[in-house]
Amino acid sequence: MGLVDQAEFHFFHFFPYTDLPADHRERASLWVDFSNANYDPTVGHDLYNRYLSEMLLADKLGYDGLVLNEHHNTQYSMNPAPNLTAAALIPQTSGWISVFGTPPNLGYPNRLAEEYAMLDVMSGGRLRVAFPLGTGMEYWANAVNPATARARFRESIDIILHCWTDDGPRSYEGDFYTYRYLNPWPRPLQQPHPECYIVGTGSPETIELAAELGFGYSVVFIPRTVQLQVFDRYRERLAHHGHEPTPEKVAIGVMAYVAESDARAEEEFLPHVMYFFENALRTTPRYLNPPGYVTVPEFRKRIQAADVHGSANWDDLVAINRIVAGTPEKVADAIGGWIEEAGSNRLTLNLTLGDMPHWKVVKNTTLFAEEVIPRLRARKEAAA
Amino acid sequence: MSGAAPVAADGATLVYLPGIAGHPASSPALDALGDAGWHVVVPRIPGLDGRSGFWAPDDYLGWLAVVWDALDATGALPCPVVGASLGGMLAADLAVFRPEAVTASVLLAPFGIFDESHPGLDLYAVPTAERMGHLFAKGVPEPFVERFAELGPEDGPVARYLCDAAAASLLWPLGDRGHAGRLHRLTCPALALWGELDELLPVATSQAWADRGVPVEVVAGAGHLLEWDEPDGVAGRLVEFLASVIR
């Protein structure tokens, strides 16, 4: 069987707030200190309803699952509490719900373990989770010292796993969290716990942590070719720790747009991709890298790397990311290649980006479901 | 600022705890203290020296233990302790928690109390390359311009990052470590000097220290690291104050 046989297609939504003031382009950052006075709750209400409807459409069209994530102090995402969104989706959907995810060190880990267990039980075992360290920007927005972020991150995950797998009550004495009675109700329906991923940017520490715990791994905002090196390293470390490097362990992100012709697809997709990279992601190096947030090897990497947060060129973006716009055949060809190249059968699909209007999201999501996924599925049948 | 002539200290020891940017070199102020007969001991605070292998303790109590270990290793205590900026924050707590170790406490624009009415500049929200310029009112002294330059273009930035990370781990996010609730326990002779032009801790924030029994004097024309901006004035006042309280 090839990887495409087993591929799962998950619909990801950032829940962006796009009704920005005209002068927003003059700001160096639309994160951290971009005032929430620019947020209109009545617009937000309409957007929540719209975005939820787009996720429900994806579920009805047969996508394998829906994906949410979390950010703070930003127009990039209206999902600072994605578990609330997941809870709203659960009774209306039948596929996987992936919360990819909440940085576990930004709050109390027992509380996050409880929330995930609730979602898993409520959904009948349809929850998957990822543990991100979170961007540097999250540490400006939350009461956690970035210098201790990584140590706290690791301890938080340890606590969550104990919450899910130990018969309580038990005590836990950590460096950051101590419990006399760790005994959360409920426990997850999936045993021993929902499938877990680490989301990172390819730092050796997060790769090692994912491999050690036997978690899946997903990377964001690093070039595709570098991702492949990261995945190789991750699989090597996974095997080292005695875990089988199966294809579902690696999740890859794809930005795709499908239309009647390549030219039309590009014309309809390009402005929103550019908006996403130029505006939604726009922030400054100082917010990306609060002091102590990155390790020394990661710091060395970052001062040499190009800044992808807020600058963009279509050709460069397409060259270094998994971005495709075109006919169903073209999109299917590209994605089939990326699946094989990465050795992954878990796709997180960004079919809506930035300020894309509703009609394009509906068009793209529908065409992808009806024209691209069947083409990829047909390849396995043809191969058989 | 007093113009009184320095009083010879006959080789008596004092400890200096450096500020937010570390201790790249002895300042003219410390040199003047030496000229006045003081033996100035500057402990090596792990992290602020930019050396790799150190990572921030989990919490402030852990940090205090690190600093106290460094202080005790000098063998200088008990003696007067002068602390600048974040070193002032640590010096104040040394006097609060270990009163037997501190015979006099001089705090140069100490962190430790955040005044939301006068929040000051968030140094870490300033681009890295511009940060030094906000610490001084009279230009960045050469030792800070050249800080870690001897390590070369690859390792120099790493050392600066580690120093900044260590300092920020003590100060993030507001530089408030609850001193307002315990300064009443600072019982040794104490004096705070504050730069008139301090951008990080506007001079109005010094009132919180004065309200809690630490006399405050403002140094005209000086920024946050005032001992660098006004070395003669700061050293002169230090010598005078210490002479008045150390018998």
CB contact under 8 A, B56 and A33: no
Q: With b meaning 16 or more CB within 10 Å and e meaning fewer, what string describes B101-119? A: bbbbbbbbbbbbbbbeeee
Quick check: A334 and A324 in contact, CB under 8 A?
Answer: yes
- A140 vs chain B: nearest CA distance in angstroms? 8
Instruction: For residue A174, give the chain B residue with the closest CA.
Output: B58
Checking if the pLDDT of A348 tops 60, the result is yes
CB contact under 8 A, B126 and A33: no
Is CATH 3.40.228.10 the classification given to domain A4-383? no
* pLDDT the model gives residue A144: 94
Q: Tell me the pLDDT band of A383, cut-offs 50, 70 and 90.
A: low
- The CA-atom distances, in angstroms, between B201 and each of B115, B122, B176 are 9, 10, 11
Instruction: For residue A298, give the chain B residue with the closest CA.
Output: B158
Instruction: For residue B57, give the chain A residue with the closest CA.
Output: A148
For the segment B222-241, the average pLDDT, to the nearest whole number, is 97
Among the listed residues B15, B21, B16, the one whose alpha carbon sits nearest the alpha carbon of residue B167: B21
Return d(Cα B30, Cα B19) in angstroms, integer. 13
Minimal Cβ distance to A145: which of B154, B157, B172: B172
What is the average pLDDT score of chain B? 94
* pLDDT the model gives residue A311: 65
Q: Tell me the pLDDT band of B237, cut-offs 50, 70 and 90.
A: very high
Domains (range + CATH), chain B: 13-245 (3.40.50.1820)
For the segment A14-43, the average pLDDT, to the nearest whole number, is 96
CB contact under 8 A, A291 and B125: no
Minimal Cβ distance to A286: which of B52, B126, B172: B126
Q: With b meaning 16 or more CB within 10 Å and e meaning fewer, what string describes A140-173? A: bbbebbbbbbbbbbbbbbbbbbbbbeeeeeeebe
Q: Percent of chain B beyond pLDDT 70? A: 96
Among the listed residues A304, A293, A23, the one whose alpha carbon sits nearest the alpha carbon of residue A142: A293
Mutate to test the interface with A, among B20, B48, B52, B55 (most CBs of A within 10 A): B55
* B56–A contact, CB cutoff 8 A: yes
Phi-psi region of A90 (alpha: psi -120 to 50; beta: other; left: phi over 0): alpha
Instruction: For residue B129, give the chain A residue with the closest CA.
Output: A286
Return d(Cα A368, Cα A375) in angstroms, integer. 10
The answer to which of B49-58, B82-91, B222-231, B233-242 has the lowest mean pLDDT is B49-58
Task: Name the interface residues of A facing B (CB cutoff 8 Å).
Answer: 33, 140, 143, 145-148, 151, 175-176, 284-287, 290-292, 296, 299-300, 303
* pLDDT the model gives residue B2: 36
- Classify the C-alpha dihedral A228-A231-A236-A239 as positive or negative: negative
Question: Which residues from B are below 8 Å from A288, CB to CB?
Answer: none
Return d(Cα B113, Cα B175) in angstroms, integer. 7
* B151–A contact, CB cutoff 8 A: no
- Tell me which of B2 and A83 has the higher pLDDT: A83
**ipTM more than 0.95?**
no
* Residue pLDDT, tens place only, B92-148: 999 999 999 999 999 999 999 999 999 999 999 998 889 999 999 999 999 999 999
Instruction: For residue A141, give the chain B residue with the closest CA.
Output: B173
Among the listed residues B185, B178, B182, B180, the one whose alpha carbon sits nearest the alpha carbon of residue B208: B180
